[in-house]
Amino acid sequence: MTSSFLLLQNEGFLMQGCFKTSLTALRVWRGEERASGYVAFFNYATGLERLLKVLMLLDHWHHNRKFFDNKKLMGYGHNLRKLYNDAMNFSQQYGVERKSLFEPDGIDNKLLEFLSGFANGSRYFNLDSLTGVEGKQDPLGRWDDLLRDVYEKDVPKDDRLPDVDELDVLVDHIEGNASVKSSAMGVSLQTQSEHNQDQGKMACALLQMRWRLVKLLVPLQSLLIAIREKIHAEDHQITDDASVPYMEEFLDFVCGDKNVILESEDWP
């Protein structure tokens, strides 16, 4: 077993851990608890970057039987949007069909931009703000905007929250029948009601968001298999040993069936 085989294997475990930790964090995310959000952003962006760079390395190995140097690796930077597009452009040469279901739509592209921005610097938003940097947008705010988009587009109407909940009815009752002091309380309750409803909408959207994050990985998994198969076919002509591991095994949680993702209570 070569050193490159072991290094790729270790990289696969690291990548897998990042993705699974991220998706699990989204599954358990409740309300305004922020730690799970940061874990999800940080680990998914890290896992995606590593997966995309592994694809670049494997493509180069397939064509040259060697990896490109560190200078080129560093040159890719953290631009996940560009890396994703570059990787997807390999599809035709490796015979990987680009299915319309898994082509990024407008929200997916916004999601990739968000992840790319997080990898490129917005993950330092809190520290930058503390040290006087101005003009940057809080990633939590951008994430909330994405969840609202997902809620409006992806959450079935039957699963959506009603526009008027029980607290709104209570507020109407207070404002119509109570004193000025109680009316002010009613305004406070109304504000709290709207806030709770917004949080409820974003909670409904999280399940659909997890599907979108997995959906981005489905074509990359197919590409990973196709490149690895090419390399293994070449290996058989040269040596009895495989030069790279079955890298797709580290994406064992990726599934192209939306229902599996939406209906599972403990995935991944």
Encoded tokens for 211: 């599907």
Quick: pLDDT tens for 50-105. Answer: 999 999 999 999 999 999 999 999 999 999 999 999 999 999 999 999 999 999 99
Distance of alpha carbon 5 from alpha carbon 67, whole angstroms: 12
pLDDT lower than 70: segments of the chain? 31, 163-193
Where do the domains of the chain lie? 3-263
Amino acid at 208: Q
The kind and range of the H/E element at 237 are: helix 180-238
* Per-residue model confidence (pLDDT) at position 240: 83
* Per-residue model confidence (pLDDT) at position 166: 46
* Per-residue model confidence (pLDDT) at position 142: 94
* Per-residue model confidence (pLDDT) at position 171: 43
Distance of alpha carbon 174 from alpha carbon 195, whole angstroms: 19
* Per-residue model confidence (pLDDT) at position 256: 95
* Per-residue model confidence (pLDDT) at position 128: 95
* Per-residue model confidence (pLDDT) at position 185: 45
* Per-residue model confidence (pLDDT) at position 258: 94
* Per-residue model confidence (pLDDT) at position 1: 72
